[in-house]
Amino acid sequence: MDNEALKASLLPLNANLTFEEGGEWVNVFVPYNELKPLLKTLQGEPDLYFNYLFCLTCVDWKTHLTMVYHLTSLKWQHNLVVKAVLNRENPQIETVCDIWKTAEFLEREVYELFGVEFLHHPDLRRLILTDDFKGWPLRKDFEDPVNMIKL
Amino acid sequence: MHQVLSSTPEGIFTINVGPQHPATHGVLHLVITLNGETILKIEPHLGYIHRSIEKMCESLTYRQFIYVTSRMDYLSAHINNHACALCVEKGLQVEVPMRAQYIRVIMDELTRLASHELWWGAMAMDVGAFTPFFYAFRERETINEIMEETCGARLTMNYMVPGGVMADIHPQFQQKVKQFIAGYKNKIAEYNELVTGNVIFQNRMKGVGYLSTEDAISYGCSGPVARASGVACDVRKRYPYDVYAQVQFDEIIETAGDSFARYLVRIREMEQSVRIIEQLIDNIPEGDYQAKTKAVLKLPKGEFYQRVETARGELGVYIVSEGGTTPYRIKFRSPGFSNLSALNEMAKGGKIGDLVATMGTLDLVIPDIDR
């Protein structure tokens, strides 16, 4: 499916979708509380069949956080980027690790680096940093007077 | 501190493998729950070599950040640099000269050969054969010498830059590569005779660390690990970059999903790498080795994603640009990270002695996982 066809088949799935223009792939924003059902449909629908989550990350925009899910279909060879905006004070979103198992590790990584809480995650602990680490290091306002060198 | 061994009255043991352990090939820490010799659960603890490369890249310019990525998957340093260069080029919309594209792909495949060589030697050593390690390093040394002569470094080459390669190839480059390739073909036959056909080795590998096709996809596995489970995921075929679209090579797929299948995929991939180099080495076109770019690179506002096939699988570079000289956010989707997440699934229910064979054929490089 090319980008235009993909866009057309996404529209009936959710009334609150907004598209971002200009990228290589279709970029779609969805309200964070409607993300999980949308992703479930994207993976299950035979015509879309996004069975491979190849990148899951987060971007700190200083006023809000944006979750970014890169999906591809190994069968149809099309790609899609799904995004959800979260507030910075108390970012919470449903886990997707029951849809794609790889999300379990990727979400743990996002949790420790950005402080996003994934609801119903089976084992939300720090993965790379030490257990007693304070702060969310990939946020833009993170300061570490000892280890950080400013250029 | 972690206890080395603890047990419950029912005989369920918890043991630590690593962070310093010869079979983890780096500082990986696995907490394993055992019932007798049977593995119930494996929990990886990461971060012993975490350098926060993604955060560092946010303060480096588009020319500087590429050098840091050689330190991620240090066995595929060229290919990491290639991914970053391609991603920046995508943002700048630079046309790379054909000569540079040929050199890049030849270098990529030489790197893949060197990486698979090291894997082959180390994996054989893990399962008890010491000699293959010397055989593998003999050939790897020749590749390293070619690298040293061309790029000035043996491991962290930093040869690829946005727009092409940093310097032209060495005058004797073509001849040396051809000489190496000519001798190398017999070496693969030698490897097959020495290890692949060995019955003891096959018994050690077959049926060990099984990963189903569904799980390989669900865990986001890529590279030889996924291809051994029947997933067609070679980025060089699916989303060709540079001159990969013009060369003839086969995507190696096995369906058994066990350690031996993963072993076979890598051995046959070496043959395909040789095939790619043979097609390109005599036809490197004349011309510039680098496109003309500005001294200070500025990417337009937007998001850019580039994936390439490293020796371990799909590496993704995701750049979010705000229009400045440094990336606003950068994310590396590392192949080893996703492949490691499937380890629990592969080793569960097996014996602890087989874990070494499973780990060996996963081909993990820890700096790539921790970043």
Contact B304 A51 (CB under 8 A): no
Residue B3: is its pLDDT beyond 60? no
How far from B81 is each of B51, B218, B254, CA to CA, in Å?
18, 28, 29
**Angle of helix B259-281 versus helix B352-362 axis, rounded to 10:** 20
- Render pLDDT for A7-29 as a digit per residue (tens, 0 to 9): 777 777 777 788 887 778 888 88
Provide the CA B291 distance to its chain's centre, in angstroms: 27
Residue A130 located in a structural domain:
no
Residue B347 located in a structural domain:
yes
Strand, helix or coil for residue B236: helix
Q: pLDDT category, A74, cuts 50, 70, 90?
A: confident
By CA distance, what is B231's nearest residue in A?
Answer: A74
Q: Which domain holds residue B121?
A: 50-370
Number of domains in chain B: 1
Residue B34 located in a structural domain:
no
Contact A151 B60 (CB under 8 A): yes
Chain position carrying tokens 């000269």: B97
pLDDT value at position B1? Answer: 45
Q: Mapped to the 3 state alphabet, what secondary structure does B346-358 carry?
A: HHCCCEHHHHHHH
pLDDT value at position A140? Answer: 86
Q: What are the chain B neighbours of A51 within 8 Å (beta carbons)?
A: 217-218
Chain position carrying tokens 């050593």: B125
Contact B341 A104 (CB under 8 A): yes
Whichever domain contains B282, its CATH number is 1.10.645.10
Q: Does A66 touch chain B (CB under 8 A)?
A: no
Contact B220 A22 (CB under 8 A): no
pLDDT value at position A150? Answer: 64
Give, as one character, the DSSP assignment of residue B298.
-
By CA distance, what is B217's nearest residue in A?
Answer: A52
- Render pLDDT for B248-287 as a digit per residue (tens, 0 to 9): 888 889 888 899 999 999 999 999 999 999 999 888 888 8
Number of domains in chain A: 1
Q: What are the chain B neighbours of A150 within 8 Å (beta carbons)?
A: 59
Residue B121 located in a structural domain:
yes
Residue B29 located in a structural domain:
no
Lowest mean pLDDT among B7-16, B236-245, B360-369: B7-16
By CA distance, what is B60's nearest residue in A?
Answer: A151
Q: Which amino acid is at B356?
A: V
Write down the mean pLDDT value for chain B: 88
Give the pair of three-digit tokens for residue B189: 């036959």
Q: Which domain holds residue A20?
A: 3-94
Residue B43 located in a structural domain:
no
Q: pLDDT category, B4, cuts 50, 70, 90?
A: low
Whichever domain contains A26, its CATH number is 3.30.460.80
Q: pLDDT category, B5, cuts 50, 70, 90?
A: low
Residue B39 located in a structural domain:
no
Contact A54 B307 (CB under 8 A): yes
Contact A52 B217 (CB under 8 A): yes
By CA distance, what is B320's nearest residue in A?
Answer: A59
Strand, helix or coil for residue B89: helix
Contact B305 A151 (CB under 8 A): no
- Render pLDDT for B169-224 as a digit per residue (tens, 0 to 9): 888 888 999 999 988 888 888 888 888 888 888 888 888 889 999 999 999 899 99
Average pLDDT over residues B147-166: 87
Strands B314-321 and B329-333: antiparallel
Residue B72: is its pLDDT beyond 50? yes
Q: What are the chain B neighbours of A22 within 8 Å (beta carbons)?
A: 302
Residue B10 located in a structural domain:
no
Which positions in chain B have a beta carbon within 8 angstroms of at least one beta carbon in chain A? 45-47, 50, 52, 54-55, 59-60, 90, 215, 217-220, 222, 231-233, 238, 302-305, 307, 314, 316, 318, 320, 328-329, 331, 333, 337-338, 340-342, 345, 370
